[in-house]
Amino acid sequence: MKIAVLEAKTVSKGDVSFDEIYALGEVREFPLTPVDKIIENVGDAEIVLCNKTPFTEDVLRACPNLKYIGLCATGYNNIDLKTCSELGITVCNVPAYSTAAVAQQVFSFILHFASRTSAYNKFVKNGGWIKSETFSDFVYPIQELSGKTLGIIGYGSIGRKVAKIAQAFDMKVIVNTRTAKQDGSVKFVGLKELFSESDVITAHCPLTSDTNGLICKDTLQYCKPSCVIINTSRGAVVNEQDLADALNIGKIAGAALDVLCEEPMSESCPLIGAKNCIITPHIAWAPLETRERLVKIAAENIKAYLNGSPINTVTE
């Protein structure tokens, strides 16, 4: 079985082994695959592992041996599923592998704004505490999370994990989700109520026609001035210009994003220089343990496919 690993560098910088993949067939590994090299790098492979490589109809039809696409990711919007179905190509993703890691990143953002640890560390290192008149110099406002309201958009595995952590901090949790859920520990609300009542809003929804640009001037208008916006889902869930405008005029208190509309970040991104805005380079999913789990599940997906009982398949 010939296997092409198209984007090894997006999963490993040499710290995660692909041995489990190599044990399954004849493997050709590429650090990255530019768009103009996709067909060449796939070659005569029957199985492909990719992350963000776009498999359009033209690409798929130009790879006649291709029978299986394994995503090293949960999202699959880069794959033309309709054409895959037509051509009999199985597509499998890796769901829920990064739940704990992403939830952890969300709370690192929340605690950044609530506890101001980095600001106080800088204050101390600059000699501020040495010059202090009192033993406790609370020069920056800090807040308790207890009693604050966390609004969660989307209530899949990550949304539920974030809710559980929030409840450990004694936060009130309200949720907006397109799919009805049974969970008496949170309150399900409409979007307007979520935006108007939340002290922190965090997005954990897939990117669809309904969620594209969901966080925008029309929804941000309902926010409290003290509200913080967090996005670790998909960049396009946020209208970046609208968010930058809201930050710069003080409509909201802050924002933290791990994903952007264009990745890597564009020099023209409107959030560059926006007030009280933290941006990390799409690393919420990337702890070592998480990436090791990702490769393990991707290998298990291939094994299941080869055994005739594919798992974690995705369709239109």
The catalytic residues are 234, 263, 282
- Same domain for 113 and 91: no
Q: Which residue range(s) make up the domain with 121?
A: 99-279
Percentage of the chain modeled with pLDDT above 90: 97
> What CA–CA distance (Å, rounded) separates 88 from 68?
9
User: What's the residue count for the chain?
Assistant: 316
Res. 179: pLDDT tops 90: no
In a domain, 316, yes or no: no
- Same domain for 19 and 106: no
Long-range contacts of 65-74 (CB under 8 A, 24+ apart): 65/2, 66/42, 68/92, 68/302, 68/305, 70/298, 70/301, 70/302, 71/298, 71/314, 72/7, 72/10, 72/11, 72/294, 72/295, 72/298, 74/98
CB 230 within 8 A of CB 109: yes
In a domain, 6, yes or no: yes
In a domain, 313, yes or no: no
From the number of C-beta atoms within 10 Å of its C-beta (0-12, 13-18, 19+), residue 92 rates as buried
Please state the rounded mean pLDDT for residues 25-53: 98
For the whole model, what pTM was predicted?
A: 0.93
257-284 confidence digits (pLDDT tens): 999 999 999 999 999 999 999 999 999 9
Half-sphere exposure of residue 40, counting CA atoms within 13 Å on the CB side?
Answer: 7
Question: Could you tell me the CATH number of the domain that includes residue 183?
Answer: 3.40.50.720
Does residue 203 sit in helix, strand or coil?
strand
Q: Select from 94, 14, 10 the least CA-distant residue to 53.
A: 10
